[in-house]
Amino acid sequence: MKLLYIPFSLLLVRPALAQPDTAKPASLQEVVVTGQYQAQSLKISVYQIRVVPQARIRLRGASNLQQVLNSEIGFRFSNDNTLGTSDVELMGMGGRNVKILLDGVPLVDRGDTRESLNQVDVNLIERIEIVEGPLSVLYGSDALAGVINVITRKQAAGQFSIRAKAQEETAGSEYYPFSYQGLHQQHVEVTGQYKRWSLAAGGSHYDFNGWGGDQWGRAKSWKPKEQWLGHARLGYETGQFHIYYRLDGLDEAILSKGAIGQTYKALDQRYTTRRYLHQMQSDWSVNERMKLNTILSYTDYSRKTRTTEHDFVANSNQLTSGAGEQDASTVNSELFRATLQNKFSNSFSMQAGFEINREQAGGQRIEGAPVITDYALFVSSEIKPVPAVNIRPGLRFIKNSVYDAPPVVPSINTKISLSKLFDLRMAYAYGFRAPALRELYFNYYDANHNIVGNPHLKAEHSNSYTASLSYTQAGEGAQLFSSTLSAYYNRFRNLINFAVSPSDPQQYTMVNIDQFRTCGVVLENRLKGKNLDATLGVGYLARYNQLAGDAQYKDQSLPRFMWSPEVNTNLAYTFQKAGVQLGLFYKFTGKRPGYQLATTNGQEQVKLTKIDHFHWADLTASKTWFSRYTVSAGIRNLFNIRSINSTAVDNGVAHGTAGPAPVSYGRSGFVSLAFQWIKS
């Protein structure tokens, strides 16, 4: 209860702001686009949307999105040090239930995790918009837990610009300048506009040498990773029509060097990922009331595994022939989406659209060349019977080539302006997630994984209920105080998860779990002044205990939900005269309890497990000279967290075991120099 005292006290102590009727609208005009008919302010949106602004991303000195989101309430990350990848969890649901969008276009992953979240160039991000809860009516499958929409920076009218950045960072105490130990990053981008044409091109390089390992620099705890990220954008616009083509490319290599054996030989594995995302988007304002938006995208994704045995005596390499040691998998995704918005009057607007999504996979460990095609029609409307009430019902009709999709997916969102200060939002959404190609047909074998796809999986379904009450008081200039109390409850059927194969106890497969639930309550506060931008949040989140509903264990009085607390704060303060900005980003992630079956003397018994709590904090500072040069420095992971104790046998992945769960490679420091030149 002490944790709740601080944010509630913020509600009681009103900041020294002007009265609402004297507020300047600019204070509330943080614009969002995810799920909207058109770009609109956060306060007006019928959805409860969380925004991570560019200023916070820049001040954090983040090299990937995990470093941006790890201090947000409701987010948890798990790291697979065997493969050098990570996954995200939102609202108690794993990454396969979170939709990752890049400017509204889904990102493709081959595996079971959302590793694409850390395959986006953070130097291009304008903001991140997070909508918790199903958005299946608008975005279809994979959006049961919510949507993370990464919005990239757009070219300002009549500008030519050059941006460049270099950043050096230690990996724990390991560092060598500009190469070898530590993290080394470089970025450059050029943009320009001539009359109605705009052009942008650039790229980034990320080189991480890994961390830990033996005296020969092998068997590292954190695998070395190198990324090359490139993009190009060509746009054309008139007063009523805007179209652009964009290409985003990724080349990623993760290197795993095995320990040297008694025969002076070692196994080395290299995982190479390449993704090319082509997208063409257009907006046509037919008239003042009607607007047409189209998206056409194609993703070419491949991931290769190459394993060699290095002989240190003969100084030679030889390809191995073990299961899964030489592999190439491909995924091709095509999307066409068109939406038409029409504002019939100030009290009634309507959106209608259709979407075609085709995905094909291939490779040695994928059975055949499977294809899934999804056809959908969707319609929604905004009804305002009175100015203070906005009701948004929606329906999505689906036809899928592989699984039995629900005939219709409904949702309804309501926003009620109780007064100038208070807004109430309530929503119900029926969510679904189609089994992905990787879950249906992908087989994965190596020394640490033994997973078989299941072509008989059913689609996941969910009923989601959310509500939030927001208080917002704006003053003159940039002054703002807001507080939002929100709650959610999700009930899932046929949730897909790992289970021991009935035919082989050493093998895992994908199965449908009868039911699963998550719920939680979150209080978020924000205070924004001339020099200070501060947030403070408290969350109490729960996941369903599946054993509680089993008649065999009812006499043990097992709790139905397993609760875990979270507390976070993001602070940014600007010293105007010195031109220095300081940032502190903190999160407490509470202990997560769990219940699992364990076999003792041949009998199954329920065992209480837990994943320990931990504190995370980053401290940063930046200063700008001559409006063009910015120097940033900071300390990441102030509490020097490397791993946390876990007694759970399965840490969310099929090959997990009890023991320390990796979090980071320890306390590290970074420094960066950024250059920006803009000519209007």
pLDDT, tens digit (0-9, with 9 covering 90-100), for 440-465:
887 766 555 677 788 888 888 889 99
Q: Is residue 652 predicted with pLDDT exceeding 60?
A: no
Range in 276-285, 394-403, 526-535 with the lowest mean pLDDT? 394-403
**Domains detected in the chain:** 2-679 (2.40.170.20)
Q: For the residues 399-422, what does the mean pLDDT come to? A: 91
| 3 state SS of 118 | helix
491 Cα distance to chain centroid: 22
pLDDT computed for residue 14 by the predictor: 38
pLDDT in tens, 201-217: 999 999 999 999 998 99
CA distances for 109 relative to 350, 361, 399, 644, angstroms = 33, 11, 23, 27
Q: Which residue do the tokens 């092998």 mark?
A: 218
Asked if 458 and 435 touch (Cβ cutoff 8 Å), the reply is yes
What are 68's two structure tokens? Answer: 């941006």
pLDDT in tens, 484-518: 999 999 998 888 887 776 666 667 788 888 788 99
Q: Which of 471-480, 534-543, 549-558 has the highest mean pLDDT?
A: 534-543
Measured between alpha carbons, how far is 366 from 345 in angstroms, rounded to an integer?
A: 52
pLDDT above 70 as % of the chain: 91
pLDDT computed for residue 303 by the predictor: 92
pLDDT in tens, 157-201: 778 999 999 999 999 999 999 989 999 999 999 999 988 999 999
| 3 state SS of 256 | strand
pLDDT in tens, 129-165: 999 888 889 988 778 888 999 999 987 777 899 999 9
| 3 state SS of 324 | coil
Measured between alpha carbons, how far is 398 from 137 in angstroms, rounded to an integer?
A: 10
By CB atoms closer than 10 A (0-12, 13-18, 19+), residue 140 is buried
Q: Write down the number of H helices and E strands in the chain.
A: 5, 38
Evaluated on CA atoms 57, 62, 63, 64, the torsion sign reads negative
Measured between alpha carbons, how far is 133 from 147 in angstroms, rounded to an integer?
A: 8
pLDDT computed for residue 421 by the predictor: 95
Q: For the residues 228-244, what does the mean pLDDT come to? A: 95
Element (H, E) at 653: none
Q: For the residues 48-53, what does the mean pLDDT come to? A: 93
Asked if 416 and 384 touch (Cβ cutoff 8 Å), the reply is no
pLDDT computed for residue 654 by the predictor: 43
pLDDT computed for residue 512 by the predictor: 84
Output the CA angle 64-69-83, nearest 5 degrees: 50
Q: Is residue 5 predicted with pLDDT exceeding 70?
A: no
pTM score, two decimals?
0.90
Measured between alpha carbons, how far is 470 from 540 in angstroms, rounded to an integer?
A: 18
pLDDT computed for residue 477 by the predictor: 66
| 3 state SS of 314 | coil
Confidence of residue 602 (pLDDT cuts 50, 70, 90): low
Length of the chain in terms of residues written: 680
Range in 20-24, 58-62, 393-397, 603-607 with the lowest mean pLDDT? 20-24
Q: Is residue 115 predicted with pLDDT exceeding 90?
A: no
Q: Is residue 112 predicted with pLDDT exceeding 80?
A: no
